[in-house]
């Protein structure tokens, strides 16, 4: 997008047309991908929200240059809400001989931390911990306030999806289901179970399209419309990701953060291309009566579904990672989660 369309602290409606009609592919990514808070001082640490038992339910905090607290004092780690008035005490940390700390905390119920918190602080305290810092902040950082709502749609909650599932978790789940259905389809084709193969092809088409899609329907002619997904559709989730990251790109107050949002669009585009192939081949297979055609197309569907999952999240599988490596690409999930890394800066006192 031309630089004149970027507006710090706001956005222009013109970028919407760009978000919905074109994707900027292969964009260069600058900076570390994290976003510093508005506090002054040098970057001296990082806080990262990551997946553990569920989505973004773990915070990992690393900081450097800290002094050991005096007798009667402690260094405490906090998560804070958007306005800083609500918080959650996570625990105390003790710097090592070099002044570094490493701290990990898991949400006991596996709840998404991004839904409620957007700031991390390390403070020097004394006495019993309350609900928010009462002492002096020594390290602090927060996510970009202007683009936070769209980052939450991307990774915490997307109200437009059927069950309120966030865009990236929705993509991951639909991609996993698609590959499994493709495997079942191929097995049915190998065994000559043509009815099952055609039924699974219909399911793949509908999972990709979503219940509002043009090609959502009964494609194998058995009188039923089957969809193993959540009804939102893989392609609508992709459009959500493109729109949300374009909003973040346009509103972010930090250029490196904006570039990280833009970089999500490249693997999303690759996933959309793969999903379109799955849909088109699935339509042909669901309507076919020719065993040779069904067997041939079944293999292509497995390959395309693997590409779709790799682009979304390779989940540590070597074959899927190789697909990304061959294209020098990073997955949607990895790119998007870079948007919830927070630079911790030294607070001037």
Q: Where are the domains of the chain?
A: 31-142+340-346, 152-312
| Average pLDDT of span 37-49 | 77
Instruction: List beta partners, residue 120.
Output: 79, 141
pLDDT tops 50 at residue 61:
yes
pLDDT at 132: 86
105, 93 in Cβ contact below 8 A?
Answer: no
| Average pLDDT of span 333-348 | 92
Q: How far apart are CA 63 and CA 65, in angstroms?
A: 7
- State the CB neighbour count (10 A cutoff) for residue 283: 18
CATH no., domain 31-142+340-346: 2.60.40
177, 233 in Cβ contact below 8 A?
Answer: no
| Average pLDDT of span 38-55 | 83
| Average pLDDT of span 190-198 | 97
Per-residue pLDDT band for 22 (boundaries 50, 70, 90) equals: very low
276, 205 in Cβ contact below 8 A?
Answer: no
pLDDT at 187: 98
| Cα–Cα separations (whole angstroms), residue 167 to 14, 163, 241 | 23, 11, 6
pLDDT tops 90 at residue 318:
yes
Radius of gyration of the chain (CA): 23
Per-residue pLDDT band for 19 (boundaries 50, 70, 90) equals: very low
Q: How far apart are CA 233 and CA 205, in angstroms?
A: 9
Per-residue pLDDT band for 176 (boundaries 50, 70, 90) equals: very high
Provide long-range contacts, Cβ within 8 A and 24+ apart, for 186-190: 186/298, 186/299, 186/301, 186/302, 188/298, 189/294, 189/295, 189/298, 190/295, 190/298
Extract the tokens encoding 314: 């390779």
Q: Percent of the chain, pLDDT > 90?
A: 78
87, 135 in Cβ contact below 8 A?
Answer: no
Per-residue pLDDT band for 206 (boundaries 50, 70, 90) equals: very high
pLDDT tops 70 at residue 86:
yes
Which of 78-82, 158-162, 294-298 is the least confident region?
158-162
Q: How far apart are CA 279 and CA 236, in angstroms?
A: 13
343, 140 in Cβ contact below 8 A?
Answer: no
| Average pLDDT of span 331-343 | 95
- State the CB neighbour count (10 A cutoff) for residue 198: 24
Residue written as token pair 């697909």? 323
Residue pLDDT, tens place only, 219-264: 999 999 999 999 999 999 999 999 999 999 999 988 999 999 999 9
Q: How far apart are CA 262 and CA 232, in angstroms?
A: 23
pLDDT at 296: 97
Per-residue pLDDT band for 138 (boundaries 50, 70, 90) equals: very high
pLDDT at 12: 30
Per-residue pLDDT band for 349 (boundaries 50, 70, 90) equals: low
Instruction: List beta partners, residue 301.
Output: none
Which of 28-37, 52-61, 264-273 is the least confident region?
28-37
pLDDT at 40: 53
Q: How far apart are CA 333 and CA 75, in angstroms?
A: 33
Among candidate residues 139, 162, 142, 163, the one with its CA nearest the CA of residue 151:
142
Q: Specify the higher pLDDT residue, 335 or 8.
A: 335
Per-residue pLDDT band for 149 (boundaries 50, 70, 90) equals: very high
∠ CA(175), CA(189), CA(303), 5° rounding?
Answer: 35
Q: Residue 43: helix, strand or coil by DSSP?
A: strand
pLDDT at 278: 98
The single-letter DSSP state of residue 7 is B
| Average pLDDT of span 332-339 | 95
Q: Percent of the chain, pLDDT > 70?
A: 88
Q: What is the mean pLDDT of the chain?
A: 88
Strands 119-125 and 74-80: antiparallel
Strands 58-63 and 119-125: unpaired
Among candidate residues 36, 89, 60, the one with its CA nearest the CA of residue 346:
36
pLDDT at 92: 95
């Amino acid at each position: 997008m031309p630089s004149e369309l970027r507006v710090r602290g706001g956005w222009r409606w013109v970028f919407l047309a760009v978000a919905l009609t074109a994707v900027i592919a292969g964009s260069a990514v600058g900076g570390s991908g994290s976003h510093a808070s508005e506090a002054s001082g040098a970057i001296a640490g990082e806080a990262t929200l990551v997946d553990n038992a569920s989505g973004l339910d773990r915070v990992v905090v690393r900081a450097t240059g800290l002094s050991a607290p005096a007798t009667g004092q402690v260094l405490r780690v906090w998560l804070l809400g958007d306005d800083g008035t609500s918080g959650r005490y996570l625990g105390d940390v003790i710097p090592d001989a070099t002044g570094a700390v490493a701290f990990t905390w898991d949400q006991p119920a596996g709840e998404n931390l991004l839904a409620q918190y957007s700031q991390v602080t390390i403070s020097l305290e004394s006495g019993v911990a309350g609900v928010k810092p009462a002492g002096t902040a020594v390290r602090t950082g927060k996510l970009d306030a202007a683009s936070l709502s769209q980052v939450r749609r991307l990774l915490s909650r997307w109200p437009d999806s059927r069950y309120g599932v966030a865009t990236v978790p929705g993509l991951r789940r639909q991609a996993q289901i698609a590959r499994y259905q493709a495997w079942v389809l191929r097995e049915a084709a190998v065994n000559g179970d043509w009815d099952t193969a055609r039924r699974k092809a219909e399911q793949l088409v509908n999972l990709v399209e979503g219940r509002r899609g043009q090609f959502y329907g009964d494609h194998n002619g058995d009188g039923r419309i089957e969809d193993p997904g959540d009804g939102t559709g893989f392609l609508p989730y992709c459009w959500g990701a493109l729109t949300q990251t374009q909003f973040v790109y346009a509103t972010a107050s930090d250029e490196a953060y904006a570039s990280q949002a833009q970089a999500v669009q490249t693997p999303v585009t690759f996933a959309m291309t793969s999903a379109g192939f799955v849909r088109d081949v699935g339509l042909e297979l669901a309507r076919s009566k020719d065993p040779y055609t069904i067997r041939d197309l079944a293999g292509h569907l497995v390959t395309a579904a693997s590409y779709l999952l790799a682009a979304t999240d390779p989940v540590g599988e070597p074959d899927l990672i190789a697909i990304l490596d061959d294209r020098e690409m990073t997955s949607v999930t990895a790119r998007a989660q870079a948007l919830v890394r927070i630079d911790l800066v030294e607070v001037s006192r």
